[in-house]
Amino acid sequence: MLRLLEISQFALIDRLSIEFHEGLNLLTGETGSGKSIIVDALGLLLGEKGHAEMIRTGAERFVVTGCFEVSEDDRIRKQFEQSGLEFNEEELIVKREFTQNAKGRSFVNHQMVPLSFLKETAKYLVDIHGQNEQQTLYGGDSQLQFLDACSNLDDLPGEVRSLYEQLSEKVQQIQALGKNEQERLRTVDLLAFQTVEIEKAQLRSEDEDERLAAEHKLLANAERLYQLSSQAYSELYEAETSASAILKRAGRMLEELRRVDNRCDGLWEQLQSARISLEDVALSLREYSSRIEVNPQRLEWVENRMAEIDRLKKKYGGTLQGIFSFYQKSKSELENLQSADETLATLEREKMILQEGYWERALELSAKRQSAAKHLEKEVERELGQLAMGKTRFRISFAEARQSNRNAQSDSPPGTGRGIDEIEFLISPNPGEDLKPLIKIASGGEISRVMLALKSVKSIDGRSKTLVFDEVDSGIGGQTADVVGQKLKKLSEHNQVICVTHLPQIASYADSHYHIEKRVEKGRTLTQVARLDGKERVREIARMISGERVTDSVLKHAAELLKMAAK
């Protein structure tokens, strides 16, 4: 929903700020006052092209800013996430600016974005219906979505899409297996060589390289380890001047001391304990040195083994874990390629089952759509009849989507994820004229009324948004104008509606009424806007009824219109 629209230095507008509200927002004013300029400015926020001629005379640039409420719209969130942009759940601020040197820039939430991103995002925010506007409902996908929304389809579209996705995946698998035979054989040879090379290495575990490195360190330093341990044993126990011999002599001395003075008993016991611990260390060193093996052959084998593992690491994964993972993946791929014929036959059978299921559900979906289309045609024509387009014919044309021939041989799945239907809304506003695509209707007023009729039947995409109607009252009046007002009012119950109108019958239904006025100040023409309430609104309705000459009776008539519309 559009909360705020700010316009600066655009056409006749110097600076303008309009705060829009929920429900029906009506813009009224004299012809040429600038109502359409506001709609044009809003169009720029939706990605319409800007040019230097739009800049107010004497200014360097124009700026148009809109603040939208976008809570609970996951479509816009997804759009932002896919583009790597920050998304604000509370509001969306869109800004367009254009300078005299023909440079335009677009911003969304203060982030500069390409115009294509703005257009893609804007289609979830606002629909503008008027002369030369490109409407959401002009696209075939949107028309099909609209028809589905008007049909009692239950989960059928979801089932068709699911079957289509499964079928597409199966087709891709078949295509992957159906590669050039020479390429397949080359791949088989390469994978076979790689798996055999890894198998010959007989890798034992993912930490074999670590264990080999530890063993290599011992083998490479075996002689030094033997020397150190033997010398330490000698120094502690074996040599005449060993620590053990010294402790024995000291022990004899303490023995004599304790015979004379029993206070030395504790010192003697400590020394005996130290001597026993030292002898244990010495014996352990002797045992350690006896186990040391100086084995040049084993050292050479370990070094060769480590070199082989390093070579495999460089080729297949960087780590032993990577090598094991590469081996499993390559072995699986090799088995699939070697059994390609059998696998291909299985995939083809599975594809045929999915294809039959898809066709069954897609044909059922198509039949329901065509049945719903007949009802929708009558409903739209009935709505158009109430909008002074009683002679208008509305039809929905069906055609099969590309590659929808059930018996055709194709590398692509039949139909699309939406089924086998391609539809187009056709219309003939005048008797005797051929039915033509909706997009080719010339009259802006007719476009607006057709859109109003369609949206009165059903919301186009099932979600509320801002709907802008320009020229919806073109060529109508009296009772028809009142009907248009009623329909706009009803439509505004679930959508924010902004409408430009010249008719008092329509204006009387407004929830928020804005008066657009063109004035001359200091020799410059300005467009201004004011929200009307109370007597001001009655007077504006009266002006719309009778022009500049507003009498008491006209004011009374205007007040009566407002009273009736409020019922």
The pLDDT of residue 362 is above 70: yes
Reported as a single tens digit per residue, the pLDDT across 448-462 is 788 888 888 875 555
Give alpha helix (H) positions in 430-524.
444-457, 478-491, 504-507
* Kind and range of the H or E run holding 436: strand 436-437
Q: Which pLDDT belongs to residue 438?
A: 79
Q: Rounded CA gap, 244 and 255, in Å?
A: 16
Banded pLDDT at 51 (limits 50, 70, 90): confident
Q: What is the mean pLDDT of residues 468-482?
A: 81
Buried b / exposed e across 419-430, counting CB within 10 Å, b at 16+? bbbbbbbbbbbe
Q: Which pLDDT belongs to residue 508?
A: 93
CA distances (Å), origin 16, targets 49, 82, 217, 483, 517: 21, 34, 82, 32, 12
Q: Assign 404 to helix, strand or coil.
A: coil
Which has more confidence, 25 or 386? Answer: 25
Least confident of 116-120, 155-159, 502-506: 116-120
Q: Which pLDDT belongs to residue 405?
A: 59
Question: pLDDT above 90 covers what percent of the chain?
Answer: 33
Q: Assign 100 to helix, strand or coil.
A: coil
Least confident of 156-170, 399-413, 421-435, 542-556: 399-413
Measured over the CA atoms of residue 428, residue 430, residue 434 and residue 439, the dihedral's sign is negative
Q: Which pLDDT belongs to residue 522?
A: 79
Q: Which pLDDT belongs to residue 328?
A: 93
Q: What is the mean pLDDT of residues 280-309?
A: 90
Q: Which of 418, 197, 411 is nearest to 316 (CA)?
A: 197
Which has more confidence, 398 or 131? Answer: 398
The pLDDT of residue 133 is above 60: no
- The overall average pLDDT reported for the chain is 86
The type of residue at 380 is: V
Instruction: Locate CATH 3.40.50.300 in the chain.
Output: 1-131+444-532
The type of residue at 181 is: E
Q: Assign 457 to helix, strand or coil.
A: helix
Q: Rounded CA gap, 351 and 346, in Å?
A: 9
Fold of the 1-131+444-532 domain: Rossmann fold (3.40.50)
The pLDDT of residue 464 is above 80: no
Banded pLDDT at 181 (limits 50, 70, 90): low
List, in sequence order, every residue forming a beta bridge with 399; answer none if it has no partner.
Answer: 422
The type of residue at 121 is: T
Model confidence, pTM: 0.62
Which has more confidence, 522 or 269? Answer: 269
Q: Rounded CA gap, 176 and 497, in Å?
A: 51
Q: Which pLDDT belongs to residue 62?
A: 92
Q: Which pLDDT belongs to residue 410?
A: 56
* Beta carbons of 76 and 109 less than 8 angstroms apart: no
Q: Which of 104, 92, 16 is nearest to 54 (CA)?
A: 104
Q: Which of 57, 70, 59 is nearest to 97 (CA)?
A: 59
Reported as a single tens digit per residue, the pLDDT across 524-551 is 888 889 999 989 999 999 999 988 788 8
Gyration radius of the chain's alpha carbons: 43
Burial class (CB in 10 A: 0-12, 13-18, 19+), 453: buried
The pLDDT of residue 139 is above 60: yes
Which has more confidence, 137 or 397? Answer: 397
Q: What is the mean pLDDT of residues 235-246?
A: 86
Q: Rounded CA gap, 348 and 175, in Å?
A: 11
Measured over the CA atoms of residue 399, residue 401, residue 404 and residue 405, the dihedral's sign is positive
The type of residue at 440 is: K
CA distances (Å), origin 249, targets 235, 241, 341: 16, 11, 90
The pLDDT of residue 168 is above 80: yes
Measured over the CA atoms of residue 74, residue 76, residue 82 and residue 86, the dihedral's sign is negative
Least confident of 58-62, 470-474, 546-550: 470-474
